[in-house]
Amino acid sequence: MKEQKLFGKGLLLGSACAFLFSVTQQVNAGTGTDHGFFWSLFVSGGSANISFPSAGQFAGNYAITWSNVGDVVGGKGWQTGSTHSIGYNCGSINGFNNFSVYGWTTGPLIEYYICEMGSVASGGVIDTISSDGHNYNFYKHQQINQPSIQGNATFWQYLDNWGGSSTGANHSVTTANHINNWKSHGGQGFGAFNYQILATEAFGNRSGSVNATVWGE
Amino acid sequence: MRKLFFVLFTATVAVSAWSQKDSDNLVFVKGGTFQNLQSSYYGKGITIPDFYVGKYEVTQKEWTEIMGSNPSKFKGDNMPVQMVTWYEAIDYCNKRSTKEHLKPYYDIDKVKKDPNNECERDDLKWTVTTNAGAGGYRLPTEAEWEYAAGGGQMSKSYTYSGANTVDKVAWYWKNSGDAELTGFWNWPAIEKNNGKAKPVGGKEPNELGLYDMSGNVREWCWEWYRDPDANGNIVRAPAHGSMRLWKGGSWMGGDFCCELSFRAGYEPNFRGSDQGLRVCRSK
């Protein structure tokens, strides 16, 4: 999982108004709230910027562009997640590795991904669930004594991988379906929600952009 | 006779001075029921006996004086010791007790594997039992830790140990590096921002004068830890387990870990640059 540079090792989101926020070779990008959503942008190597071009009309809208990045992760979401269904519309995306609902729980400590575009597949498939009209393969991966939102810890990553979403259309992620399957077949139960976001990650000197809108359903 | 009196007097003064100096870093905690409304023990009818607890997390100087070496990743005499396993924390308590002529609190059998230890990654599994009534150094129980962190009988019911604003009292991932970080927790950002443990006592103390009970390094407690059950109920002090409990959060973790009611576990033989200890003693 480490090799894949999933945003498991971090995802900053943050605040702001509807103006352009630029970062170059920084480790701490801007962050905060915009139109009721948390947002953040992290970039390591290269450059990236985030803006909220249509947030006045669609509160969860954000756009990120990046150039020759070592790793960039960014998006919008909620400080405390829930089992709510999540809607999104990705207007455009290119030069990325994965586009996922991403979050953490504590007690047990679990890092989870619901991958809508790209891939987070790793290891063996535990089972397959059908949700929102398509199938996700559920992968489990254990991180042993690795950094986490609680500090160094041993924890599981739950990775539901689809990757077949499309741009220019509304989509739903019925989060409860994923959580129920994790509770039933994950083997660790499921804990208290920490943050939960719709995020994009790119790495490996890629350049690209995303323009997407997220909302709770 | 005068000479003898002088010698005895001098020796008494010296011992008193030594004891006073030694006890400077221990704070007396008056026992009682939980007063902090934010504590997970509040209203549970639990009474904590009087005890002493470290004013600071155990520093690298204190550790090295007893153990002879310093395993910490981030070095400094006045920094909290890190990278110590639960076993080493127990060992430290006993060795410090012996050095100070106190009865060791623990019996440690390094050969016999603890049958209650279910940790598949633990290759030590020392069997550790306690000597109730011994006055030596020991790790706090979760209840003692939370009682002290919550201000004991002087509690103002803060969420964190000493404040409702985490930055006043705790070093955690956002403020432990070169620049202030914001947003959601992000390890690459923390690492590149040079997040690290800090010298003890750098933030405001709590109601009892205790420093860094929220943040800086996580603090080992005595009990086994188990995640909540399927209904979300807390399981206290299970008889067996695979992780030992820690409290307080650290420079690496989220602010929620610094809340005095937060609890989590860590393998007893694991080392982390965010894992240290605070000692206590029974009255």
Instruction: Tell me whether residues B121 and A151 touch, CB distance under 8 A.
Output: no
Task: Compute and round to an integer the Cα radius of gyration of chain A.
Answer: 16
pLDDT digits (tens, 9 = 90+) for B60-95: 999 999 999 999 999 999 999 999 999 999 999 999
Alpha-carbon gap, residue B231 to A91, rounded angstroms? 40
- pTM score > 0.90 for this model? no
* A147: chain B residues, CB-CB within 8 Å: 187, 190-191, 252
Report yes or no on A179 lying in a domain: yes
Instruction: Tell me whether residues B256 and A31 touch, CB distance under 8 A.
Output: no
Report yes or no on A1 lying in a domain: no
pLDDT digits (tens, 9 = 90+) for A62-96: 999 999 998 888 999 998 999 999 999 999 999 99
Known catalytic membership, residue A111: yes
Which of B199-228 are b and which e, b meaning 16 or more Cβ less than 10 Å from the residue's Cβ? Answer: bbbebebbbbebbbbbbbbbbbbbbbbbbb
pLDDT band for position B23 (cuts 50, 70, 90): low
Beta bridge partners of A111: A104, A157
Count the neighbouring beta carbons within 10 Å of the beta carbon of residue B164.
Answer: 12
- For B127-132, what is the mean pLDDT? 96
Residue A32: give the domain boundaries.
7-216
Q: Does A14 lie at the interface with B, CB-CB under 8 angstroms?
A: yes
Q: Compare all CA atoms of chain A with the CA of B266 and give the residue at the minimum distance.
A: A153
Instruction: Tell me whether residues A107 and B264 touch, CB distance under 8 A.
Output: yes
CA distance B185 to chain A (A): 6
Lowest mean pLDDT among A80-89, A160-169, B18-27: B18-27
Instruction: Tell me whether residues A151 and B256 touch, CB distance under 8 A.
Output: no
Report yes or no on A2 lying in a domain: no
pLDDT attached to residue B107:
98
Counting the structural domains of chain A, the total is 1
Only one residue has tokens 């962190």, namely B149
For residue A89, what is the domain's CATH number? 2.60.120.180
pLDDT attached to residue A29:
59
Instruction: Tell me whether residues B266 and A197 touch, CB distance under 8 A.
Output: no
Report yes or no on A195 lying in a domain: yes
pLDDT digits (tens, 9 = 90+) for B253-281: 999 999 999 999 999 999 999 999 999 99
Q: Does A149 lie at the interface with B, CB-CB under 8 angstroms?
A: yes
Known catalytic membership, residue A116: no
Closest CA relative to residue A197, chosen from A48, A27, A10, A20 = A10
Report yes or no on A204 lying in a domain: yes
Q: Does A20 lie at the interface with B, CB-CB under 8 angstroms?
A: no
* A194: chain B residues, CB-CB within 8 Å: 254, 256
Report yes or no on A108 lying in a domain: yes
Report yes or no on A107 lying in a domain: yes
Q: Are A32 and A62 in contact (CB under 8 A)?
A: no
Q: Which CATH architecture has domain B26-282?
A: Alpha-Beta Complex (3.90)
pLDDT attached to residue A208:
97
Terminus-to-terminus CA distance in chain A, angstroms? 30
CA distance B130 to chain A (A): 27
Q: Are B80 and B62 in contact (CB under 8 A)?
A: no
